[in-house]
A and B are shown apart, each in its own frame.
Chain A
Amino acid sequence: MEFEPVIGLEVHAQLKTQSKIFCSCSTAFGAPPNTHVCPVCLGMPGVLPVLNKKVVEYALRMAVATGCQVAEISRFARKNYFYPDLPKGYQISQYELPIAAFGEVEIEVNGTAIKIGITRIHMEEDAGKLNHDPHRPMSHVDLNRTGVPLIEIVSEPDIRSPEEAGAYLKKLRSILRYLEICDGNMEEGSFRCDANISLRPKGDEKFGTRTELKNLNSFKHVEKAIHYEIRRQQAILEEGGQVIQETRLWNPDSQKTYSMRDKEEAHDYRYFPDPDLLPLVIDKAWIDQVRNDLPELPDEKTDRFIHQYSLPEQDAERLTSSKELADYFEACVTIFSEPKAVCNWITGILLGLLNAQGKTIEESPVTAENLAGLLKLVSEDVLSAKIAKAVFDEMAETGKSARQIVDEKGLVQVTDSSAIEAVVQKVIDASPDEVVAYKGGKRKLIGFFVGQVMKETSGKANPGIVNKILQDKLGG
């Protein structure tokens, strides 16, 4: 029997506010334990949470960007459970009245556009961090992260493959980063994902029993874990067995998922409206303002790049995969207005270098101004395309401009015909056999002569002029 996977994703995105969602403590990452805390986020008795307006603003941005309906009235609720990372004994979240619902995100997999529905977006507070002692039966609790604002984005079960799950996650992350509300770092935990997976016989409407996958802390892990889980469930179903509804953890070392064997009570959260927080009313004016202030989003930018710069779709998508990369490209094009050439250098050479060095575009050792400067020198025939790559490597190493390197090393392209002519004559004199063969019809030998001239001039001779002189002399 052929089975169809049904996948829904729950994404937690940490919002880039300065202060926490319900108190004025800093959200900065990496401070010494329990130094960004106050009576509110420590859950002391008698304190009152007060909502950070920016959190609402950021949640609204994501809601509008994903075409969600924003709730006129939404409300915070308490999700009750006991765990040492949660000092109050409940997490403040939203339950039956989330801030937004019914949105969608478009992804593309293997050339096919697919719409993935967004069930809901809600705001909540993050929990603290537990460090389990490897040798003693104790854990250390750090509550700096307690109260850091999150939005949870819940997808419809519209996803049908690990690849679609990966594409959806990348799109969400890209939108969040374009909106400048989340830095989207999966490894550091500012962008986290849980996956609900079930299988059903192909053609069936009814969903099978699902499992929930946790601990998917990189894009690679998400796809691998979903692949594994699909195979695992398929094997069970093919043997006539039944999938058990449970939470499973992905172990990246063994490349397997394991049952968390949590007690059934764990999901009995007894939500109720938080009496400490007033209902949230969002009027049309606020939504309109957020909509007006929305930056250009990834799909819009891709479209614009295709039309404005006449780039192939694939190139446009690559360049707009992050806002910073798109900005870099546009900064180059402002100085050197040949978009396709700029694109080729960025996607072919610059990204290769950054990848090898493990750097982001913001950390690029070659600035946009310097890359554009290099391309300008090539197009002005100051520098031959042949040695441009070597100059680029030098720029990456030293941070110097192309002009500086060209001047220092005397790499200026030779366009002086008489100088080139002398070299051409020397090459012809040194290769009598090849000259005879060429004149006898082996026209392909022109490449040999060009190569010899380039060798003599360390690649500095202008290839157009070399060709012309060679043909004149050889009688092309």
Chain B
Amino acid sequence: MKITKNEIIHVANLARLEIDEASLDKVTEQIGRILEYVDTLNQVDTKNIQGTSHAITLTNAFREDIIKDHLTNNQALSNAPEKENGAFVVPKIVGR
């Protein structure tokens, strides 16, 4: 197997995805197959080829350092499930 169930659980947790016990086998197998395909790709000799990070060849898109309009506080918070005193409210999470 290319990837273990524990690795899948770890990666899912990093991405805050819930995977139930029932689908764990299936996901592990599918991602394993994807990784096998990556192995296939890895057989191609890419020694003298630059990696591609962007699909287009443009570079250097800049903006000037100018302040433009902001959202109002009401607009900014309009999708917030909970808000107070102009701030978003979230459960307390201390330490990162």
Establish whether residues A52 and B62, one from each chain, have CB atoms under 8 Å apart when the complex forms.
yes
Interface check A143, CB cutoff 8 A = yes
Establish whether residues B65 and A54, one from each chain, have CB atoms under 8 Å apart when the complex forms.
yes
**Count of chain A to chain B residue pairs whose CB atoms are closer than 8 Å in the complex:** 132
Interface check A84, CB cutoff 8 A = yes
For B54, what are the chain A residues with a Cβ–Cβ distance below 8 Å? 273, 275, 278-279
Contacts of A1-56 to chain B: CB distance below 8 A = 17-19, 24-26, 32-39, 42, 50-56
For B94, what are the chain A residues with a Cβ–Cβ distance below 8 Å? 132
Quick one: CB contact mask for B42-78 with A, threshold 8 Å, 1 for yes? 0000000000011110111111111111111100110
Interface check A83, CB cutoff 8 A = yes
Report which B residues bind A (CB closer than 8 A): 10, 13-14, 16, 53-56, 58-73, 76-77, 84-96
Interface check A205, CB cutoff 8 A = no
Interface check A243, CB cutoff 8 A = no
For A273, what are the chain B residues with a Cβ–Cβ distance below 8 Å? 53-54
The one of B53, B65, B84, B93 in contact with A275, judged by C-beta atoms closer than 8 angstroms, is B53
Establish whether residues B76 and A53, one from each chain, have CB atoms under 8 Å apart when the complex forms.
no
For A143, what are the chain B residues with a Cβ–Cβ distance below 8 Å? 76, 88
For A51, what are the chain B residues with a Cβ–Cβ distance below 8 Å? 61-63
Pull 5 A–B residue pairs with CB atoms less than 8 Å apart, ordered by A: A24-B63, A34-B87, A39-B71, A84-B88, A279-B59
> Can you name the residue of chain A whose Cβ is closest to the Cβ of B86?
A33
> Can you name the residue of chain A whose Cβ is closest to the Cβ of B96?
A83
Interface check A64, CB cutoff 8 A = no
Establish whether residues A37 and B60, one from each chain, have CB atoms under 8 Å apart when the complex forms.
no
The one of B58, B63, B72, B87 in contact with A131, judged by C-beta atoms closer than 8 angstroms, is B87
Establish whether residues A142 and B66, one from each chain, have CB atoms under 8 Å apart when the complex forms.
no
Establish whether residues B96 and A19, one from each chain, have CB atoms under 8 Å apart when the complex forms.
no
Interface check A268, CB cutoff 8 A = yes
State whether A265 and B60 are in contact (beta carbons under 8 Å apart), knowing that A19-B66, A26-B70, A38-B70 are contacts in the complex. Answer: no
For A137, what are the chain B residues with a Cβ–Cβ distance below 8 Å? 91-92
State whether A83 and B93 are in contact (beta carbons under 8 Å apart), knowing that A34-B76, A143-B88, A265-B10 are contacts in the complex. Answer: yes
> Could you say which interface size class chain A belongs to?
35 or more
Interface check A281, CB cutoff 8 A = yes
Closest chain-A Cβ to B18's Cβ sits at a distance in Å of: 14
Establish whether residues B53 and A34, one from each chain, have CB atoms under 8 Å apart when the complex forms.
no
Establish whether residues B96 and A262, one from each chain, have CB atoms under 8 Å apart when the complex forms.
yes
Interface check A260, CB cutoff 8 A = yes
**Apart from the given pairs A32-B73, A42-B76, A136-B92, 8 other A-B contacts in the complex at a CB distance below 8 Å:** A34-B88, A35-B70, A51-B61, A83-B93, A84-B90, A142-B87, A265-B10, A275-B55
For A81, what are the chain B residues with a Cβ–Cβ distance below 8 Å? 96
Interface check A82, CB cutoff 8 A = yes
State whether A265 and B13 are in contact (beta carbons under 8 Å apart), knowing that A34-B77, A53-B64 are contacts in the complex. Answer: yes
> Can you name the residue of chain B whose Cβ is closest to the Cβ of A44?
B79
Establish whether residues A139 and B95, one from each chain, have CB atoms under 8 Å apart when the complex forms.
no
Closest chain-B Cβ to A212's Cβ sits at a distance in Å of: 12
Contacts of A121-149 to chain B: CB distance below 8 A = 130-133, 136-143
